[in-house]
């Protein structure tokens, strides 16, 4: 065993740092640090910078243009990007659709869609959830009926993240209602500009507009946009869910978040002393830090095992549950640390004006982020569903 980074790892870390120092503009990193709404251009611009470096797809195989890094390098990369406040890479095309296409897509689909994900020509969104099919995804009702060389799609998807920017959506649709639910689902790629598609924004509790409803009325989809076999979509969806996902534990975000809490707690005064010297607050910070240190190692252990050929199913669920608990705990500390200054609604209106922000801590909208990040234990398979998976795998049933 050796817990230290190797020479090669350290050299890689220096390379990443140098890259971030030259390529990530201060304007963009400040926007990320202060929780500002990133525009489509911001996100596409950052993707292009990573792509030019060959670093946009860390876990894709080299044959498709990926970096194919090992687990430690990926960990280093995530950590450095989060500490430098680089924008999050939008995962839908890169880490959700791409692995499915690489494994189950035909040659034409791979040749056509994969390069466009890297180049940014396509912006993908994920069309799984429906109003009545959340945790119980297999009960989905959006219907695709084959007519000649098209499917005709009718129904509604919801919670579609960044659907307002997307030109493509990958969807689970029902192609057979006469069989067991899971056996009648197909995986379709749909052009958002097809007539009959309507996108309606949903405003979240922090005022952000990041999710949407997507409505389908008699939408024609060419049959060559079916991935794999008809009625086998559930297998692909499950592969996507259990497929080792980068950064599921969010260690980088937590590390950056905790550093910000400490910075503020040193400056904030309480009872005539810096808040970080207050035993109650200091204990809260230390408790999370202990959890995060262990999580960082748990993450590395599990991701290395998976890279060595182990099957990461239940472990991914474990990382998701504990990783989100730690992140949410840090969001909670971040609102506590600023005291009464958590209350202002730091909206775009305030950011856009010339008036200085009311908050003297330069902390950004910590309360809004606390509320917004309640989502991370709900989406991508809620923490209850993940615990169910762990129990089922470990105890049968």
Partner 1 sequence: MNFDLTAEHQMLQDSLRRFLKYSCNSETRNEALSSETGVTSDLWHAMAEMGVIGAFFTEEQGGFGGTGADIALIFEELGRANIMSPFLDGALLSGRVLAAAGELDRVADLINGDLQLALAHGEPTSRYDLNYVRTTSVNGILNGRKAVVVNALASDVLIVSARISGEVSDENGISLYFVEKDAAGLTIQDYALIAGGHAAEVTLDGVEGSLIGEEGKGFALLKDAYAIATVAQCAETLGEMTAATELTQEYLVTRQQFGRPIATFQALAHRMSDMLIEMEQARSAVIRAAGYFESDERTRDINIHAAKNLMGRAGRLIAEESIQMHGGIAMTQEYELAHIAKRITMADHRFGDTDYHLEKFMALTQP
Ligand X SMILES: Cc1cc2nc3c(=O)[nH]c(=O)nc-3n(C[C@H](O)[C@H](O)[C@H](O)COP(=O)(O)OP(=O)(O)OC[C@H]3O[C@@H](n4cnc5c(N)ncnc54)[C@H](O)[C@@H]3O)c2cc1C
Minimum Å distance from CB 236 to partner 1? 21
| Residue 129 touches partner 1, criterion: CB under 8 A | yes
**Among ligand X, partner 1, none, residue 345 binds (CB under 5-8 Å by kind):** partner 1
Minimum Å distance from CB 167 to partner 1? 24
| Cα separation values, 211 from 61, 322, 358, Å | 31, 25, 28
Report the candidate in 383, 339, 331, 380 with the shortest Cα–Cα distance to residue 361. 339
Single out the residue of 154, 270, 277, 305 in contact with partner 1 (rule: CB under 8 A): 270
Are residues 100 and 187 in contact, defined by beta-carbon separation less than 8 angstroms? Answer: yes
Single out the residue of 332, 351, 362, 390 in contact with partner 1 (rule: CB under 8 A): 332
Verify whether residue 244 is a known catalytic residue.
yes
Are residues 49 and 120 in contact, defined by beta-carbon separation less than 8 angstroms? Answer: no
- 89 DSSP 8-state letter: P
**Among ligand X, partner 1, none, residue 339 binds (CB under 5-8 Å by kind):** partner 1
DSSP 156-200: EE---TTTTT-SEEEEEEES-SSS-GGGGEEEEEEETTSTTEEEE
| Residue 102 touches ligand X, criterion: CB under 6 A | no
Torsion of CA 385, 388, 390, 396, to 10 degrees: -150
Burial of 313 (0-12, 13-18, 19+ CB in 10 A): middle
Report how far apart the first and last C-alpha atoms of the chain are (Å, whole number): 36
- 272 DSSP 8-state letter: T
Q: Which positions from 191 to 230 touch ligand X by CB under 6 A, shown as an x/- string?
A: --------------------x-------------------
Which one of the listed residues 130, 244, 268, 315 is annotated catalytic? 244
Enumerate the active-site residues: 244
Binding site for ligand X (CB under 6 A): 126-129, 134-135, 159-161, 211, 375, 378-380, 382, 384-385, 388
Binding site for partner 1 (CB under 8 A): 129, 132, 134-136, 139, 158-159, 202-207, 268-272, 275, 278, 280-281, 284, 328, 332, 335-336, 339-345, 347, 350, 355, 358, 360, 365, 367-368, 370-371, 374-375, 377-379, 382-384, 387-388
């Amino acid at each position: 065993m050796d817990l230290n980074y190797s020479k090669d790892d350290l050299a890689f870390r220096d390379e990443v740092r140098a890259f971030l120092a030259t390529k990530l503009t201060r304007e963009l990193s400040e926007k990320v640090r202060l929780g500002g709404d990133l525009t489509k251009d911001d996100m596409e611009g950052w993707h292009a910078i990573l792509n030019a470096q060959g670093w946009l797809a860390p876990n894709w195989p080299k044959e498709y243009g990926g970096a194919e890094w090992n687990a430690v390098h990926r960990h280093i990369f995530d950590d450095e990007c989060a500490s430098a406040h680089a924008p999050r890479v939008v995962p839908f095309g890169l880490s959700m659709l791409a692995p499915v296409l690489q494994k189950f897509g035909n040659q034409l689909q791979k040749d056509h869609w994969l390069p466009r994900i890297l180049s940014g020509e396509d912006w993908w969104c994920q069309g799984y959830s429906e109003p009545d099919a959340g945790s119980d995804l297999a009960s989905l009702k959006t219907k695709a009926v084959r007519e000649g060389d098209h499917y005709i799609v009718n129904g509604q998807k919801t919670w579609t993240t960044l659907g307002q920017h997307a030109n493509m959506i990958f969807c689970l649709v029902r192609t057979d209602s006469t069989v067991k639910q899971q056996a009648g689902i197909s995986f379709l790629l749909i052009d958002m500009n097809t007539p009959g598609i309507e996108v309606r924004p949903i405003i979240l509790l922090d005022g952000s507009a990041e999710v949407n409803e997507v409505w389908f009325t008699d939408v024609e989809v060419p049959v060559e946009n079916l991935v794999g076999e008809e009625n086998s979509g559930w297998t692909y969806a499950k592969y996507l869910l259990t497929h080792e996902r980068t950064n599921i534990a969010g260690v980088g975000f937590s590390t950056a978040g905790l550093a910000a809490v400490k910075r503020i707690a040193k400056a904030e005064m309480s009872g005539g002393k810096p808040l970080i010297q207050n035993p109650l607050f200091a204990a809260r910070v230390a408790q999370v830090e202990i959890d995060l240190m262990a999580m960082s190692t748990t993450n590395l252990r599990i991701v290395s095992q998976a890279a060595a050929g182990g099957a990461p199913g239940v472990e991914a669920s474990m990382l998701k549950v504990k990783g989100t608990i730690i992140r949410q705990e840090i969001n909670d500390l971040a609102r506590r640390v600023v005291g009464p200054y958590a209350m202002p609604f730091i909206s775009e209106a305030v950011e856009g004006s010339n008036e200085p922000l009311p908050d003297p801590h330069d902390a950004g909208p910590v309360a809004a982020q606390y509320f917004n990040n309640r989502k991370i234990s709900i989406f991508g398979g809620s923490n209850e569903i993940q615990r169910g998976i762990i129990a089922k795998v470990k105890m049968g049933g």
